[in-house]
Structure 1
């Protein structure tokens, strides 16, 4: 669920029309990376038992993927500008299949962590090309429908990931256990690669930007220095290296800003032009992503633990429990073009409030259940249905708001920044909301800790509702 991360502001070469099969192939590639971020959640208990992994290592299995993904997204977009988005998409799909195989064959916990980092890098190579190709090969209403469909698919992919992961772990095909959640990607990636060769049209920048090696290194260093200690610091007792990295993060960020500013002033090709952030509409659209993506990833991480360790659901039952969210999330996302015509950006406000209502119903259901161990998936369904309704509109509408906020001359760089914010927030969600939940469990118990984490997400969504009221009502 990313935006195109092309960082060149020049126009793109004319591209052939995107066929329905080509669109399906691109959406399949997009769903692979989103599914894989969440599919591992329900497999964590099995991984812990089989590989004797510590809690810190388990968090790295989840967050290592997201960190690598976020750090390399902008670079992946620039490579697509230079070498062609079709070629980079296909390379990314192939790399994703190979790294999924490496995850599935991992002999130890840290091998799995390393393979997950490589898998995140493959996603960063593949995903920037998807919406970039959609925008280069579609126009008008066709583009609006494609973006809405993209929002629906990428949003529900996270839910599908946990349901599919639970089914695969429970089925234990060929005695593979948790390894099946990674091995299933291999034939899907192979099919996408074979079909994509013939159906995905090519597009690239007419004047690809020159490389920004120093900017790329500083950007990657700043994000890593921020995200890595946030994901691992609490679980490892905040060792010295984590503190030093957090101290280094703002210094690296300032150095990156100075390098990019100099490149922009001297007519170079900065990875992310600093002037872009001076656009008020751009800043507002990026801030909207914080409560959406931090809350989503934190909720999915914590909810998977509650279902399996708190309620002692099996992997299949835990995975199927989240299906009601998908049942409303897909149609909600597909309705976004109609909602925008009727309410404009106020559709985001309403979606946030509906999501808050869903979390409130879910929290009250958890608190009022007596006994706690008797809580059933059917009892959780009403709250999850409401959450899916609000979430579906938020995810799809975010892309529309972000793209509308970026000036045409800055489309590539702006979408790259939005994509990086999105993926960073997914990692931060696990590191903050997820870690808060885990930290509260020993003192409050799992039920009250989960409700407290829901309260944090509610606060973020209320902030989202307030921020959305500051957006221009009409959208382009």
Structure 2
């Protein structure tokens, strides 16, 4: 017994997660814990989609307010993502991960208890900010605590996690809203983050190693503020304009967004000429893979964000299905997206850019078939009839998702890969938020006249985007052999 006590005082068991962390490494269980921490904020962008009718009924929210519940989260997330990575570099990723996760849990509690839609929107914006501080620490820890095949596998798992979280979010949201736990309706979709987050927080505090950059990059505060202001100036009129009849101030904000965007470009160029590394480095954006790939990622994300938003509303508001069936309806897409994510790296390595074009064609076929089913069979649309189209769309978009992310960093020097991937995910999140605001507004404007045609109008735009991506894939750089140094936010 004394020997046992002495062994306990001597320190953690060799090879245990805690011992590996103290040695500066990352145990496989630590990888799982970090992925669990990342899963929550990624899922939370989408989990509200199936809860929107319940939020509307409970808080008497306008359609534009419901858009802001989703898009406000996305803009805060996108605008502060690179800042989060740089703070982790400077002050320690372990500390930033724990602090951001604690903040995310507390703000999730605030979202779940929000008495009005205005409070909910404000809490969602803060929630997006905490997510932006949390996510970069996961990828950067993988990059600095793992090597070789373990690093490549961890980053691949992150990619699969981030993709599947989008569709799982709507499924989980539907389950929780339909359960109506203790008459709380939509509130558990946020409250569920509290117990899960606390468990991840306690475990991560013991087994995740502390890493930081030996050469941390300065925080580009002017660039961050200007970029956030530009996104906000675009988002607010897109979300509010249609419900208010497009008053003069909405057009003034669009003009302001153009001015702010131009000022952002000037400020970022001057910062780079002074030898600083700005939020959106102009020299990096001029690289062929970045200039072409980022535009395609932005377009893809706009379509994807809009689809998840309008499909949930079509199923619930149009077909009058409950939140559970609204979540289950997306399951075929989730399953094929997950399976496609596992196969995509091998197919892309073998077939190169052609794999992206094939994926785009498959997704295009799925979306076209889905529109045909909804328009022709309305209002007697069986959710079983949407399963095959959604499965095709999920399989195709998984190939595009993986290929576009891989191609963007093809020309980026290894020492700038962290900054490049930070820009990449910033543009992805911006696209998701803008898709909800822009194409979501189009849907809400047409919905009172005809739900199926409102859905079709949005999907025609998305299909046009996918068709352009199918053709544009040939303009991307040729794929090199996959390496262990996969994209990370380490900037």
- TM-score, structure 2 as length reference: 0.89
Coordinate RMSD, CA, aligned: 1.7
The answer to whether 1:360 aligns with 2:368 is yes
The answer to whether 1:302 aligns with 2:307 is no
Q: Structure 2: how far apart are the matches of 1:108 and 1:474?
A: 49
Q: Are the aligned partners of 1:340 and 1:347 in contact in 2 as well (CA < 8 Å)?
A: yes
The answer to whether 1:331 aligns with 2:333 is no
- 2:20 is aligned to none
Q: Structure 2: how far apart are the matches of 1:270 and 1:455?
A: 37
The answer to whether 1:448 aligns with 2:456 is no
What per-residue deviation string (whole Å, max 9, x for no partner) do you get for residues 188-208 of structure 1? Answer: 111111111123233222121
What per-residue deviation string (whole Å, max 9, x for no partner) do you get for residues 92-126 of structure 1? Answer: 11111111000000111111111111111111111
Q: Structure 2: how far apart are the matches of 1:19 and 1:177?
A: 39
Q: After TM superposition, give the deviation of residue 65 of structure 1 in Å.
A: 0.8
| SS of corresponding position for 1:406 | coil
- 1:383 is aligned to 389
Q: After TM superposition, give the deviation of residue 230 of structure 1 in Å.
A: 2.4
Q: 1:442 to 1:415 in 2, by over 3 A?
A: same
Q: After TM superposition, give the deviation of residue 91 of structure 1 in Å.
A: 1.4
Q: Structure 1: how far apart are the matches of 2:418 and 2:296?
A: 19
Q: 1:291 to 1:219 in 2, by over 3 A?
A: closer
Q: Structure 2: how far apart are the matches of 1:397 and 1:113?
A: 34
Correspondence list, 1:8-407, <5 A = 16-369=24-377, 372-407=378-413
| SS of corresponding position for 1:272 | coil
Q: 1:405 to 1:90 in 2, by over 3 A?
A: farther
The answer to whether 1:411 aligns with 2:417 is yes
- 1:8 is aligned to none
Q: Which moved more, 1:113-122 or 1:233-242?
A: 233-242
Matched residue count = 459
Q: Structure 2: how far apart are the matches of 1:412 and 1:235?
A: 41
Q: After TM superposition, give the deviation of residue 341 of structure 1 in Å.
A: 2.2
- 2:15 is aligned to none
Q: Are the aligned partners of 2:345 and 2:402 in contact in 1 as well (CA < 8 Å)?
A: no
- TM-score, structure 1 as length reference: 0.92
Structure 1 runs of 4+ aligned residues shifted over 4 Å read none
Q: Are the aligned partners of 2:52 and 2:66 in contact in 1 as well (CA < 8 Å)?
A: yes
Q: 1:411 to 1:174 in 2, by over 3 A?
A: same
Q: 1:269 to 1:461 in 2, by over 3 A?
A: closer
Q: After TM superposition, give the deviation of residue 73 of structure 1 in Å.
A: 1.3
Q: Structure 2: how far apart are the matches of 1:249 and 1:433?
A: 18
Q: 1:246 to 1:393 in 2, by over 3 A?
A: same
Q: After TM superposition, give the deviation of residue 140 of structure 1 in Å.
A: 3.4
* Runs of 5+ consecutive residues of structure 1 not aligned to the other structure: 1-14
| SS of corresponding position for 1:235 | helix
